[in-house]
């Protein structure tokens, strides 16, 4: 009996089997050994009372796959086996060893009871807490996977069709590169308009580099938006698809369908309307990113009167011909600092500049997310000397804008280039360079200047001012004018140094 017990212990038997063998040993020795019979009988009773708990402990650790946590109990049982075997081998007349072994048996009983009743319960409590943490982590991962799955449903739901056409997710929204900063409030406002208000078309308007595309992508990937529109979310970069035909082809390719034959643009409009009507009454969201000035006529053709059909447009112009326009503001100081910190110090840490110098950099960015993130990333892992150099550069906004590696100028310059077809309006914008940057000025001052310089009447001058406002190149606040700092810097960076016909105004613009 003793040999088999030691063998089972050595081979790493399960706790329940080991405990059962120990109990059998105690019962057997109790019957045969008169010298320790009362003490062994007491130990036997204790072991039988602990047996149900042993089964629970063994099952729990088997499920949790944590065998090492019961090693201490196994060692204690093996120690007890050896002690009981010694008792069985002791002569019944050996009264010298009786008190020694009796004391050890009583101590063994106490240790077993304490270990099982107290230590194991504490250990199981710790295990349960760890399990709760693991379950919570799994829950977070499941929600993350669920969110990704929702974003890909538009691809997966029509994968068979896509494989026939060779196009996969042509109009699927691109993924966000990071968590948007400072967009929570406007995001909720836009969500409410799309989910609750009966507004078929919403224009998201802001200057270049202000985060319009980021906002549109965040809308497309919002869980509430995905729950409502599901796979019927179509994202089209309008500046790269500035024709009705390209839009039609993209949408049909996205669904794995061939574009039917058509004769003219009116046929394309009918095709598009039928395309969207076939999806209703399921909600449909069409996102047109970066609508170019002068392309409103295409938007008119897409504005179908279909139930649950919504259009979200981003544009640098305000598109006054449409009623529902949401103006996206630049970042406030707190959000600007947060974005700059994320861009320059993505792994945490402290700036190697004073707060004053950091504010100089942020002030030069004017709250534009594009400028803040690009400049921040350019300083990632750079020396303190490089940071100080950037502070000096930021004292002149045009110096930062003109750096080709940043790509900020190209983004903002397009807002100015869009005025090429309206020479008079562009000249009026150039004249605004004679005013201090980011300062409020009476609107009558530039109007009077334009009347004198360009030989136009006040109504034309006022019309030009509103044209610049609609294009987000100036801000009008209760009859005051505020020049958009970043766009002026973009113009100054490209403007050649020369004095024009109206030398005073041009010289102030350039200096």
- Which CATH number belongs to the domain containing residue 506 in this structure? 1.10.10
- Predicted structure pTM score: 0.51
Nearest-angstrom CA–CA distance, 148 and 482: 42
Q: Which domain holds residue 88?
A: 2-130
338 in the same domain as 306: no
User: Per-residue pLDDT for 496 more than 80?
Assistant: no
268, 294, 327 - which closes a domain: 327
CA 466 from centre of chain:
37
**Inside any domain, residue 403:** no
Tens of pLDDT along 48-88? 888 888 887 777 776 666 666 677 888 888 888 888 888 88
**Inside any domain, residue 245:** yes
Produce one character per residue of 160-187: b if its CB has 16 or more CB atoms within 10 Å, e if not.
eebeebebebbbbbeeeeeebbbbeebb
User: What is the structure's pLDDT at 210?
Assistant: 84
316 in the same domain as 188: yes
**Inside any domain, residue 295:** yes
**Inside any domain, residue 401:** no
Which uninterrupted H or E stretch holds 274? helix 265-277
Tens of pLDDT along 277-323? 888 788 999 998 888 777 778 888 888 888 889 999 888 877 766 77
327, 345, 365 - which closes a domain: 327
**Inside any domain, residue 172:** no
322 in the same domain as 193: yes
**Inside any domain, residue 433:** yes
The total of structural domains in the chain comes to: 4
Query: Which residues have a Cβ under 8 Å from the Cβ of 399 and sit 6 or more positions away?
Result: 393
417 in the same domain as 388: no
Tens of pLDDT along 347-372? 777 787 788 888 888 888 888 888 88
35 in the same domain as 14: yes
254 in the same domain as 376: no
Lowest mean pLDDT among 61-65, 229-233, 265-269, 377-381: 61-65
97 in the same domain as 33: yes
Average pLDDT over the chain, rounded to an integer = 75
363, 395, 427 - which closes a domain: 395
Nearest to 487 by CA among 186, 206, 181: 206
More confident residue, 27 or 98: 27
CA 316 from centre of chain:
25
385 in the same domain as 468: no
**Inside any domain, residue 242:** yes
Cβ atoms of 290 and 319 closer than 8 Å? no
Nearest-angstrom CA–CA distance, 296 and 316: 12
> How many other CB atoms are found less than 10 A from the CB of residue 148?
12
User: What is the structure's pLDDT at 303?
Assistant: 86
97 in the same domain as 41: yes
381 in the same domain as 258: no
User: What is the structure's pLDDT at 158?
Assistant: 37
310 in the same domain as 345: no
Residue 296 sits in a domain whose CATH number is 3.40.50.300
User: What is the structure's pLDDT at 206?
Assistant: 84
- pLDDT tier for residue 418 given thresholds of 50, 70 and 90: low
**Inside any domain, residue 175:** no
215 in the same domain as 101: no
């Amino acid at each position: 009996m003793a040999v088999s017990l030691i063998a089972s212990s050595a081979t790493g038997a399960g706790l329940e089997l080991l405990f059962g063998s120990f109990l059998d040993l105690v019962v057997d020795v109790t019957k045969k050994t008169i010298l320790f019979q009362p003490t062994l009988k007491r130990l036997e009773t204790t072991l039988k009372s602990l047996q149900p708990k042993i089964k629970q402990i063994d099952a729990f650790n088997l499920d949790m796959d944590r065998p090492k946590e019961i090693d201490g109990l196994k060692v204690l049982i093996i120690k007890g086996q050896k002690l009981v075997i010694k008792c069985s081998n002791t002569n019944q007349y050996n009264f010298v060893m009786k008190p020694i072994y009796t004391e050890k048996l009583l101590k063994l009983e106490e240790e077993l009871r304490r270990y099982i009743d107290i230590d194991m319960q504490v250990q199981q409590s710790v295990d349960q807490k760890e399990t709760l943490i693991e379950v919570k982590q799994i829950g977070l991962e499941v929600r993350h996977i669920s969110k990704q799955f929702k974003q890909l449903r538009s691809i997966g739901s029509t994968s068979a069709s896509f494989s026939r056409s060779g196009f996969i997710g042509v109009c699927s929204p691109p993924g966000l590169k990071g968590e948007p900063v400072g967009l929570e409030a406007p995001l909720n406002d836009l969500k409410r308009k799309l989910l609750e208000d009966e507004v078929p078309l919403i224009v998201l308007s802001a200057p270049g580099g202000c985060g319009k595309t980021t906002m549109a992508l965040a809308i497309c990937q919002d869980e509430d938006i995905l729950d409502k529109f599901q796979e019927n979310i179509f994202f089209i970069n309008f500046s790269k698809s500035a024709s009705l035909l390209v839009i039609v082809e993209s949408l049909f390719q996205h669904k794995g369908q061939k574009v039917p034959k058509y004769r003219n643009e009116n046929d394309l409009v009918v095709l598009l309307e039928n395309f969207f009507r076939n999806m209703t009454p399921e909600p449909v969201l069409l996102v047109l990113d970066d609508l170019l000035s002068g392309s409103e006529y295409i938007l008119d053709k897409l504005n179908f009167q279909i139930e649950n059909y919504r259009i979200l447009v981003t544009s640098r112009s305000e598109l006054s011909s449409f009623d529902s326009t949401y103006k996206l503001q630049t970042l406030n100081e707190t959000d600007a600092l947060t974005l700059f910190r994320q861009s320059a110090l993505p792994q945490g840490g402290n700036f190697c500049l004073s707060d004053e110098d950091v504010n100089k950099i942020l002030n030069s960015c004017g709250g534009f997310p594009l400028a803040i993130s690009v400049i921040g990333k350019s300083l990632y892992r750079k020396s303190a000397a490089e940071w100080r150099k950037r502070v000096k550069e930021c004292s002149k906004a045009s110096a930062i804008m003109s750096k080709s590696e940043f790509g900020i100028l190209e983004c903002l310059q397009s807002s100015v280039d869009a005025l090429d077809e309206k020479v008079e309006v562009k000249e009026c914008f150039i004249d605004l360079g004679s005013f201090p940057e980011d300062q409020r000025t009476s609107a009558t001052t530039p109007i009077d200047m334009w009347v004198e310089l360009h030989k136009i009447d006040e109504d034309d001058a006022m019309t030009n001012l509103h044209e610049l406002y609609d294009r987000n190149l100036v801000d009008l606040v209760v009859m005051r004018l505020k020049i958009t700092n970043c766009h002026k810097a973009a113009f100054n960076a490209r403007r050649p140094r020369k004095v024009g016909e109206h030398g005073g105004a041009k010289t102030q613009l350039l200096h």
